Amino acid sequence: MTKTISPINIAIPAPASRRRDRLFARVGGAEKFAFSADDNGAVIEIFDEIGGFGISPSDVRAQLADAGRGNVTVRLNSPGGSVFDGITIFNTLVAHPGKVRVEIVGLAASAASLIAMAGDEIAIADNAFVMVHRAWGMTIGNEADHAEQAAVLRKVDDALAETYAKRTGNKVDVIRRMMEAETWLKGEEAKRLGFANEVMGEVKIGARFDLSIFAKVPSALAETPTSAAHLSSRAELETLLKERLGLSRAAAKKIAAGGFNALSKPDEDQQMVETLVARLAKASANLKEI
C-alpha cells in the first residue's frame, strides 16, 4: 500500500543517549511492552513511557521486524517521554510497509501523541485522552548553551506542529495554540479535531501514571502515588524525593536507600516509608496550588 503520512525530517541531532531516572512514577496497573498476533496481524502494546527506562525505538523496530510486511495494530497507553525517541518511533511506524492501526486505549500524551499520528487509522476509546504540548528540555551551562537549547526546542515545536497539522487537517497556527495551552482531548473531541478517525467503546485502563509533571491534567487522570507499594525501585523513590521535595541528590539518595530497603522488610520500618510517601503526595498537592 502507498503511505500518505510523511516522516519527520528534523535537521538537529538527538542528545547523546544516557541513562536517566523514570519521568513518570507508577500509580497503578502494569506497564508493559508486548507483542502478539490476532486475525488482523501483529499487535504491539505500548503501555509505558517513551525512552529512558521505558520503550525505546529499538524495541519497536525489533517487533516490527517480527511482523514482517503485514498489518500492525499499535495499542497505546503512554504518558510520553523523550521527544526524540518519539520522533524515531513515529518514523519507524510510518516506514512500515503494512497498514498501521493505532488504538489509544488509555492515554497518548506528549511524545506518545506524536506516535499515535503514525497510524493509517487512529481509533480512540471513549474514555481515553490525547494531549499535545510544547517540547521541554533542560540545559546546564552559560547563556550561549541556553540559547542553543532554545533554538533546538523551537525546531522541535515546528516539526511537531506541522506533523499534527498535516495528520489532523487543522491549520498549523491552530495546532501551535493547542500546544502552547497544553491541550487534553477526550474520545469524541479528539475525533472531532482530527486526532482520531474512530471512537471505540470505553476501555478499562490498565497502567496509570503520576502525571503531576503536567500543568492541566484532567481530573479523571489526576492521580498521585499514595502508597509505597507503587514504587518499583529505589531510583523511583529517589526521583520523587528530588522532584517533589526539592532535596539534593545526595540527600535523596541517602533517604531512598533506607526507604526502599524497608519495602522489602515491612516489619522493620514500613510505617516510616508510608509516612514519607504520604508527605510526598501532600507536597505535590501544595505545589499545584501555588
Residues serving a catalytic function are: 110, 133
Number of helical H runs and strand E runs in the chain: 9, 10
What is the amino acid identity at position 256? Answer: A
The three cell numbers of residue 204 are 478499562
**Under a CB-based contact definition with an 8 Å cutoff, are residues 182 and 133 in contact?**
yes
101 neighbors 117 (Cβ within 8 angstroms) = no
d(CA 225, CA 170): 37
Listed residue (196, 186, 187, 193) closest to 216, CA to CA: 186
Burial 255-270 (b: 16+ CB within 10 A, else e): bbeebbebbeeeeebe
**Position of cell 491534567?**
217
Type of residue numbered 25: A
Rounded to whole angstroms, the maximal C-alpha distance in the chain is 62
The single-letter code of the amino acid at 274 is E
Beta strand 208-209 pairing with 26-28:
antiparallel
Residue 208 cell numbers, joined: 496509570
